[in-house]
Amino acid sequence: MKHLAQIKTGALPAELTQLTPEDIANNLRRFIADKAAYSENTFRDLLSVIRRWAFWCNERDVGYLPIDPDLAREYFLNMAESGLASSTIDKHYAMMNMLCRESGLPELRGSVDLKRSLKRIRREAVVQGERTGQAVPFRLPDLQLLSHLMGRSERLNDQRNLAFLFVAYNTLCRMSELSRIRVRDLDISDSGHVIINLSHTKTMVTAAGVIKHLSRAAAGHLLHWLELSGLIHHPDAMVFGPVRHNNTAGVSEKPMSAPATERIFKDAWDLLGKEPVQDNKGRYAKWSGHSARVGAAMDMAERDATITQIMQEGTWQDPKTVMRYLRRSESQKGKMSGILDGE
């Protein structure tokens, strides 16, 4: 589907007779014109969901806007039967509600039957043994070992990757946030203290931005990389840019791609000779772009940081998200277990 506003519409129900297909198309055109109000990831996810929903509807020769709740119910049940995770179905539900809202059409949340079907899908998934996958945590001992192994390397690639891993763990930033840091975003004191000025994060978009203070170790590795690469003299360059085959750094004003940042974690995993993690949704067999956030949150909790402090460091807004990351942490051992262990 090349354009959101080209969506095929079916017959409008009686309660929407004043909303014509052209009205829907115009609403979507205005939405597309203002798509910068949403992150690139959100817009990309929306397009992916629309394409899947449209393909499913086209196979049955039915219009896909407005979304018929009964048809959506059949669609979600079909997704569940095909083995898709309940979390994936919930994501489709949220994105399809967003599409309805931006089109000026009633959201699916008004359908009691559909809500009940989604509840059934979630319950059956749990009863059948579905477990939420989680990024394999990248912990402090892992970072320290990598520092020992890579710290004296003469390969610029190693120095960049080591600096990236230290900053990722120290700041709990998301991949997209790390990849868009520019040299000019760094405040470097004469003593070597480094402050990162993030323009925004996924959950915090304010004119004041977000400030991240680096530890001495993280600042040291970051400055070492910037000096060796020469990027310290290019304020508009991305801090974490490409390294050429001849062991020189490229000056880039474009963020590193998601696959490139994921590769940093995977290469670090392979360097330590770790075995893939089994039974963790497949995609979480090794470290991934979220691993430093998960590992740092767990390390903070095990050092008695409060949930509020962890949420502030990781710019999380929902404590339930943090608790999911900490569910396997030693710090979350129940009070009764502590009593029985004599603690």
In angstroms, rounded to a whole number, what is the distance separating the alpha carbons of residues 160 and 136? 22
Tens digit of pLDDT for each residue in 256-310? 988 899 999 999 999 999 888 875 555 678 898 889 999 999 999 888 888 889 9
Q: Domains in the chain and their CATH numbers?
A: 4-127 (1.10.150.130), 140-331 (1.10.443.10)
The fraction of the chain above a pLDDT of 90, given in percent, is 43
pLDDT in tens, 110-146: 889 999 999 998 888 877 765 666 788 999 999 999 9
Query: How far apart are alpha carbons 19 and 252 in whole angstroms?
Result: 47
Give the confidence band of 247 by pLDDT, cuts at 50, 70, 90. Answer: very high
Residue 14 has pLDDT above 80, yes or no: no
pLDDT (0 to 100) of residue 170:
95
For the ranges 177-191, 205-219, 278-292, 328-342, the lowest mean pLDDT is seen at: 328-342
In angstroms, the CA 12 to CA 20 distance is 8
User: Active-site positions?
Assistant: 174, 290, 293, 316, 325
DSSP assignment letter at 108: G
Could you give the count of Cα atoms lying within 13 Å of 176 in the half-sphere of its Cβ?
A: 9
Cβ within 8 Å of residue 202, ≥6 positions away: 39, 41, 174, 176, 177, 315
**Which DSSP helix (H) or strand (E) runs through 334?**
none
* pLDDT over threshold 90, residue 64: no
In tens, the pLDDT along 82-121 reads 888 888 899 999 999 999 999 888 889 888 999 999 999 8
Show the DSSP H helices in 21-68 as ranges. Answer: 21-33, 40-59
pLDDT tens-place string over residues 171-185: 999 888 899 999 999
**What one-letter code names the amino acid at 189?**
S
Q: Which span out of 129-133, 228-232, 318-322, 330-334 was modeled with the highest average pLDDT?
A: 228-232
CA distance 230 to 244: 13
Alpha carbons 309 and 262: distance in angstroms, whole number = 27
pLDDT given at position 133: 62
pLDDT, mean of residues 196-225: 81
Distance CA 155, CA 149 (A): 12
Question: Greater confidence, 17 or 103?
Answer: 103
pLDDT at residue 244 in the model: 93
